[in-house]
Copies of this chain bind each other. A is one copy, B any other.
Amino acid sequence: MSSHRPAPEHTHPADVPLLSALDALADPVRLQLVRELAASQEWTRTCGSFDVPVRKAAISHHFSVLRAAGLVEQRDVGPKRVNRLRRPEFDARFPGLLELVLKGD
């Protein structure tokens, strides 16, 4: 079975500028997505499964920013798009940043 959507484009954390990483994390909705992903098993969360107060199109945009910042990897499984936090790769590029962000306020 093939998906009708193009596969999502990714940027590897090794290629992410510092400003992109900071900008991706400096948003309350994206911070919430990252925190929920960190608390979930890899590849178990679909894009619609997050507790954020925004519509589907906005969530897609936020996930696109997170992919471009090397924070999230996505793949399509049948009609579902599932996610994982790229924690080890991102940690290698920006040591300590995710830990700080996940610790909360």
A residues near B (Cβ < 8 Å) are 17-19, 22-23, 25-28, 31, 94-97, 99-101, 104-105
A22-B26 contact in complex given A95-B100, A96-B96, A100-B94, C-beta closer than 8 Å: yes
In the assembled complex, the Cα of A105 lies from the Cα of B94 at a distance in Å of 10
In the assembled complex, the Cα of A57 lies from the Cα of B96 at a distance in Å of 34
Residues of B within 8 A of A23 (CB): 26
| Most chain B beta-carbon contacts within 10 A, residue among A18, A96, A99 | A18
Our pick among B22, B95, B99, B104 for the contact of A22 (Cβ within 8 Å) is: B22
Our pick among B17, B18, B101 for the contact of A18 (Cβ within 8 Å) is: B101
Residues of B within 8 A of A25 (CB): 22, 26
Residues of B within 8 A of A99 (CB): 96
Not counting A18-B105, A94-B100, a sample of 13 additional A-B residue pairs whose C-beta atoms are within 8 angstroms of each other reads: A17-B105, A18-B31, A19-B26, A19-B27, A19-B28, A22-B26, A23-B26, A26-B26, A95-B96, A95-B100, A96-B97, A97-B97, A97-B100
